[in-house]
């Protein structure tokens, strides 16, 4: 059928009036329409034509065109309200908020309102109104059309405020979703998320589905128990197992967790935090399965929370309960101690079993590593100044965090600190830990050049592990590498580790980079590392990390 024109007698008084054009041109955020219900033809304003990519302002069978665009969760409500109005079961004025796809396939929230006019026989004749574009906003996720995490918080708080309410939260994510983005594209990944959301909604479960961050979704159901959530997750996983996306069919796998209200928490924030805790555990230990929040997780949470608080208090209290120990780095060719590595320790009577391996990631995450790192540098340089009176030229090594590297002005402040202690640059070697690899290469290289210009030595710690290790030799100005202690395991019997130690040492020497092999615990390991060409050795064979006084007694007074 050809588009209706203003000269068409049946429609010209209503669908093609100058008054309609005037309203349509007066607002850019409203989509006006007039719908002749008996002829099933609709006139849309230019704003609507652009927003929904209609072929023309005049659209035949508008319901058939709009219905596929309405979000599946909103469609039943809209259809019920529309039928009730047409059948005279409700007012002739209809208004609602719903999600609808725009021309790009993204869901927008719109507020729709209109009025029905009947003919002299009481039959529905005309329906006129508008759609106000509310945007994706905080309520609606543009990719999937699902309600957002912010809307979940609002609705969940309202629901938990109802007396005697009970329910369950099911949090789940797509396993290895990053590989979908890498194999196809991020745009295709968004299509996968949208397709999954629509398929899950089509199951018509009694609860509400929300889009969380990344590839995670959350399902909330009132009066649900553990068995209910397990059944829901099973259906979700089956549905995701063969997901059609365009011409592709993807075999997705979901991993989930659940918490129950009020058993696992009395507030929305606590419930969501614990659901995330349980999901991390499930992804680590039970991929493809469903894990509940448990008492053991609660105890671990309490331990982590109190540990973080104790650490922060000690950092704020001038690094109380922190100390430095020192481990020698031994010359291979002429023997004797070349330098001391300063290592951080923390002992708090309330946490007697906590190791430094536990606290470093927490300090990194909270940012307290900046204050602690500065405290370590000052302590190590002060000790080097004292020791150089006994052994001129003795060096000291200090580990650096990625947060320190990324801190504005760090290189200049470190050079100034050396000058303040009256030490030459070659007194200090800074060791780049694994966290430094999270900082951009450009930033790291710029910082290291400033340190090199001041005479400070730079070492790459844990060399030989991680995909980026070899690239770092090319991109960064390094003078040392320290081979990862994992390479020392079964060194005398493991042909692979032997080959790696030898090859990495040869590679570094070709680049005029010195090699320190750490983790030396046996005489056999020492002999093999020496034959492989190591320049320096470090490990328990020579000494465990000891206090400054003990280090001085063992290595500097001889």
Sequence ranges of the domains in the chain: 18-135, 149-293, 311-556
- Give percent above pLDDT 90 in the chain: 50
pLDDT at 29 (0 to 100) = 66
pLDDT tens for residues 187-230?
A: 888 889 999 999 999 898 999 999 998 899 999 999 999 999 99
- Give percent above pLDDT 70 in the chain: 93
What superfamily would CATH give domain 149-293? Reverse transcriptase/Diguanylate cyclase domain (3.30.70.270)
Q: Which among 111, 109, 108, 107 has a CA at the least distance from the CA of 94?
A: 111
Give the mean model confidence (pLDDT) for residues 15-32: 66
Give the mean model confidence (pLDDT) for residues 331-343: 91
Higher pLDDT, 399 or 436: 399
pTM of full prediction above 0.75:
no
Q: Are 391 and 357 in contact (CB under 8 A)?
A: no
First to last CA, the chain: 103
The number of CA neighbours under 13 Å toward the Cβ of 51 is: 23
Give the mean model confidence (pLDDT) for residues 51-60: 85
Give the mean model confidence (pLDDT) for residues 308-316: 94
Distance CA 243, CA 194 (A): 11
pLDDT at 426 (0 to 100) = 93
Distance CA 187, CA 285 (A): 30
- Phi first, then psi: what are they for 493, rounded to 5°? -120, -15
Q: State the pLDDT confidence band at 56, using cuts at 50, 70 and 90.
A: confident
pLDDT at 297 (0 to 100) = 85
pLDDT at 5 over 70: no
Higher pLDDT, 106 or 58: 58
Q: Any idea which residue has 């973080």 for tokens?
A: 308
Distance CA 233, CA 256 (A): 8
pLDDT at 4 over 50: no
pLDDT at 1 (0 to 100) = 36
The number of CA neighbours under 13 Å toward the Cβ of 235 is: 15
pLDDT at 12 (0 to 100) = 46
Distance CA 96, CA 107 (A): 16
Distance CA 470, CA 457 (A): 19
pLDDT at 179 (0 to 100) = 84
- CA torsion, points 371, 377, 379, 384, in degrees to nearest 10? 180
What superfamily would CATH give domain 311-556? EAL domain (3.20.20.450)
What is the three-class DSSP state of 458?
strand
Contacts of residue 171, defined as CB under 8 A and 6 or more positions apart, other chains included, come to: 212, 216, 217, 218, 219, 256, 257, 258, 259, 272, 275, 276, 278, 279
The fold of 18-135 is Beta-Lactamase (3.30.450)
- Label residues 392-425 b or e (16+ Cβ within 10 Å = b): eebbbbbbbbbbbbbbeebbeebbeebeeeebeb
- Over the chain, what is the mean pLDDT? 87
Give the mean model confidence (pLDDT) for residues 346-367: 92
Distance CA 93, CA 91 (A): 5
Give the mean model confidence (pLDDT) for residues 159-182: 89
Higher pLDDT, 54 or 173: 173
């Amino acid at each position: 059928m050809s588009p209706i024109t203003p000269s068409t007698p049946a429609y010209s008084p209503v669908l093609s009036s100058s008054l309609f054009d005037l309203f349509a041109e007066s607002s850019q955020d409203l989509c006006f329409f007039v719908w002749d219900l008996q002829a099933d033809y609709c006139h849309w304003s230019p704003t609507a034509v652009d927003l929904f990519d209609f072929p023309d302002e005049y659209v035949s069978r508008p319901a058939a065109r709009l219905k596929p665009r309405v979000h599946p969760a909103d469609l039943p409500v809209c259809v019920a309200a529309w039928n009730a109005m047409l059948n005279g079961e409700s007012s002739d004025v209809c208004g609602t908020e719903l999600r609808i796809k725009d021309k790009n396939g993204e869901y927008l929230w719109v507020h729709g309102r209109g009025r029905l006019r009947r003919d002299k026989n009481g039959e529905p004749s005309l329906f006129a109104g508008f759609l106000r574009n509310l945007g994706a906003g905080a309520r609606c996720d543009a990719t999937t059309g699902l309600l957002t995490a912010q809307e979940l918080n609002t609705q969940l708080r309202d629901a938990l405020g109802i007396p005697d309410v009970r329910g369950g939260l099911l949090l789940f994510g797509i396993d290895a979703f990053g590989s979908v983005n890498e194999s196809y594209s991020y745009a295709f990944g968004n299509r996968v998320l949208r397709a999954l959301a629509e398929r899950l909604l089509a199951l018509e479960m009694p609860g509400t589905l929300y889009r969380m961050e990344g590839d995670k979704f959350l399902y909330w159901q009132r009066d649900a128990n553990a068995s209910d959530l397990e059944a829901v997750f099973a259906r979700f996983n089956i549905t995701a197992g063969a997901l059609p996306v365009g011409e592709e069919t993807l075999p997705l796998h979901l991993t989930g967790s659940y918490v129950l209200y009020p058993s696992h928490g009395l507030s929305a924030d606590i419930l969501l935090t614990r659901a995330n805790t349980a999901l991390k555990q499930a992804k680590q230990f039970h991929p493809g399965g469903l894990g509940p929040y448990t008492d053991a997780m609660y105890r671990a949470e309490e331990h982590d929370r109190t540990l973080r608080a104790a650490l922060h208090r000690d950092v704020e209290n001038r690094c109380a309960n922190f100390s430095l120990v020192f481990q020698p780095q031994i010359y291979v060719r002429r023997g004797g101690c070349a330098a001391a590595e300063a290592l951080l320790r923390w002992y708090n009577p309330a946490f007697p079993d906590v190791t430094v391996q536990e606290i470093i990631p927490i300090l990194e995450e909270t940012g307290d590593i900046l204050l602690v790192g500065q405290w370590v540098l000052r302590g190590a340089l002060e000790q080097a100044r004292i020791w150089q009176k006994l052994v001129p030229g003795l060096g000291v090594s200090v580990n650096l965090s990625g947060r320190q590297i990324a801190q504005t002005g760090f290189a200049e402040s470190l050079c100034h600190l050396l000058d303040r202690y009256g030490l030459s640059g070659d007194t200090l070697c800074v060791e780049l830990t694994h966290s430094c690899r999270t900082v951009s290469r450009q930033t790291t290289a710029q910082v290291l050049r400033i340190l090199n210009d001041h005479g400070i030595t730079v070492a790459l710690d844990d060399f030989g592990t991680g995909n980026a290790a070899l690239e770092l030799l090319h991109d960064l100005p390094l003078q040392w590498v320290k081979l990862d202690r994992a390479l020392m395991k079964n060194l005398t019997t493991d042909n692979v580790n032997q080959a790696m130690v030898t090859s990495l040492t040869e590679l570094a020497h070709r680049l005029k980079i010195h090699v320190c092999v750490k983790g030396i615990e046996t005489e056999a390991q020492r002999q093999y590392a020496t034959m492989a060409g190591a320049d320096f050795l470090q490990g328990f064979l020579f000494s465990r990390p000891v206090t400054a006084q003990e280090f001085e007694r063992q290595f500097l007074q001889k």
